[in-house]
Amino acid sequence: MKNTATNKAFTLALLSMVSAPLLAQNSSVNLKRPNILVILTDDMGYSDIGCFGSEIRTPNIDKLANNGVRFTHFYNTARCSPTRASLLTGLYPHQAEMGHLANSNYEEVGYRDDLSKNAVTMAEVFKGAGYSTYMAGKWHVCKDISPNGDKSNWPLQRGFQRFFGTLNGSGSFYDPGTLVSNNTFVAPGKNFYYTNAISDTTVKFIREHPKGKPFFFYVAFTAAHWPLHAPENEVQKYKGTYDKGWDYTREQRFNKLKKLGIISKECVLTERGVKIPAWKDEQMKEWQLRRMEVYAAMIDVMDQGIGRIVAELDKKGELENTVIFYMHDNGGCAEPVGTDKMEIPLTAEQKIAHPMPYDSIFYGKKPEYSRDGQFVRGGRGVMAGGPASWVAYGEEWANVSNTPYRLYKRFAHEGGIASPLIVSWPKGISAKGGLRTDNSHLIDIMATCLDITGIEYPKTFNGNAIQSFEGTSLVPAFLNKPVNRESIFWEHEGNRAIRTGKWKLVARAQKEKKFTSADEKSWELYDMNADPSETIDLARTMPEKVNELALLWEKEAQRTKAKPWPWGTK
């Protein structure tokens, strides 16, 4: 159900109540349009930052929250490529032809997994309105990422004037594959660490930005996606932090979330995943602790970088009139990485020279050797952190990241799709540290930015008809006014959900990328006001509501091109 942006006259009336330099095209006042800075992180859970309950040190992100507003019911699409496509275009991912992952490429129109030419990116919209457009970080929304292939969906060809980052989904933080400057592949330099490179490049672009011209900047960190890599001095800061284990850490986060008012009194702490042992029964505590210590350090380093970015904005005199959005691309990641057995290094005679095999570089698979010749190991017992390690933090710690919710990245339950959203705009948002409970989604960022700037959304672009954006402007919420919307829709790998008001209908496919007749009616129904943790399934007691919402989901699936899908019988 398509929602449109807030009426511009209403928006102007609202923002006239604060010191906001909103420039609408119909306004007779010649005011400077604000800069837009969108920050997206990778594979981080709902409670992984300090102002959302975490013990991880994120003072710079917390400061943004304290100087702006936090949306406590903001949603992503449960996976990286779909989220990025949705954020950039203001469409549901299937409408942007990114229903799965950029390296999948199915025949169904919603799953071609190459950013649609019938969608327009925020960079294209803002560039056309006279903004400078920059990006640093992870792209992951184009099919062809080879140096000599089709570059029509690379960042510079989709509206960005300067780009530094990676085209693929994941990889080493010390030696990332597909590292690109503008349209040219580059090698990492000495003492390279990708998170710092993203932050430092963002600072550089802001420093070199011409004064008096507004900019749109998209900063897409890969922290804290696996493999778990972080400088050792940063890891050491978290020694001892997790020694009481995941059960204790979840409880502490839950209590802090309640104290902060992020979650309601009705919210309960879900039970730990069935495959996760009680901490007292864990047999490899040292290895488990190391995984979470590195994960925390990755987020800490990212927060330091955000601090440098904000400091540069302040130094340039741009901070007051910059709208900063901060959010996560999906919930905590429980994906297994590596094997359950220790890996044995090859002999010197069996070593192969760098560079890594093509599929390792381009699709985030574990390489055999690091650039400096170390054998790269993954699996249980391999200590995370350095360039010769390739491990994730597992379901055990992903369960902590998603406190208080259940399930993870890929799923449409809250653990997969709930994200913090922080919006900071000193000149435009007078509320400091405010909380907003409006249901909101990535599709709303485009609508909000258009509303703030008064920029017109195109009906055609480069000769292609452009789909109307889906989102609802969040501007009313800046002044604690309600954001009126009808519903929000999800589909990923047959995992499905729809939310309208307090009701959420959700289902989980029992097998990855396999949808069966048994899955068709496996709906769960939750009253999210009374049960925000999704622990009391009302489907059996309220079959009429299930049927009503299931029909609505089906209608939206057809409209947004989520169906036909590649997961089941054609």
Q: What is the pLDDT of residues 212-244, one digit of tens each?
A: 999 999 999 999 999 999 999 999 999 999 999
DSSP 107: S
Distance CA 368, CA 365 (A): 10
Which residue type occupies 510?
Q
Three-state DSSP at 426 gives coil
Q: What is the CA radius of gyration of the chain?
A: 23
Strand partners for 369: 375
pTM: 0.93
| Beta carbons within 8 Å of 551's beta carbon, 6+ residues apart | none
Domains, the chain, ordered by start: 8-485 (3.40.720.10), 486-570 (3.30.1120.10)
How far, in whole angstroms, is CA 212 from its chain's centroid?
31
Q: Closest Cα to residue 421, out of 404, 397, 439, 399?
A: 439
Query: What would the 3-class secondary structure string for 276-327 be?
Result: CCCHHHCCCHHHHHHHHHHHHHHHHHHHHHHHHHHHHHHHCCCHHHEEEEEE
List per-residue pLDDT tens for the chain, 570 residues long.
454 444 455 555 545 544 343 434 333 333 589 999 999 999 999 999 999 999 999 999 999 999 999 999 999 999 999 999 999 999 999 999 999 999 888 999 999 999 999 999 999 999 999 999 999 999 999 999 999 999 999 999 999 999 999 999 999 999 998 999 999 999 999 999 999 999 999 999 999 999 999 999 999 999 999 999 999 999 999 999 999 999 999 999 999 999 999 999 999 999 998 899 999 999 999 999 999 999 999 999 999 999 999 999 999 999 999 999 999 999 999 988 754 333 444 444 433 333 333 333 344 678 888 877 889 999 899 999 999 999 999 999 999 999 999 999 999 999 999 999 999 999 999 999 999 999 999 999 999 999 999 999 999 999 999 999 999 999 999 999 999 998 999 999 999 999 999 999 999 999 888 899 889 889 999 999 999 999 999 999 999 999 999 999 999 999 999 999 999 765
C-alpha to C-alpha distances, 75 to 196, 271, 364, 437, nearest whole angstrom: 27, 22, 26, 12
Helix axes 443-453, 80-89, angle to 10 degrees: 20
Distance CA 137, CA 140 (A): 10
| Digit-coded pLDDT (tens) for 7-34 | 455 555 545 544 343 434 333 333 589 9
Burial class (CB in 10 A: 0-12, 13-18, 19+), 239: exposed
Cis amide prior to 210 (ω within 30 degrees)? no
Distance CA 42, CA 198 (A): 13
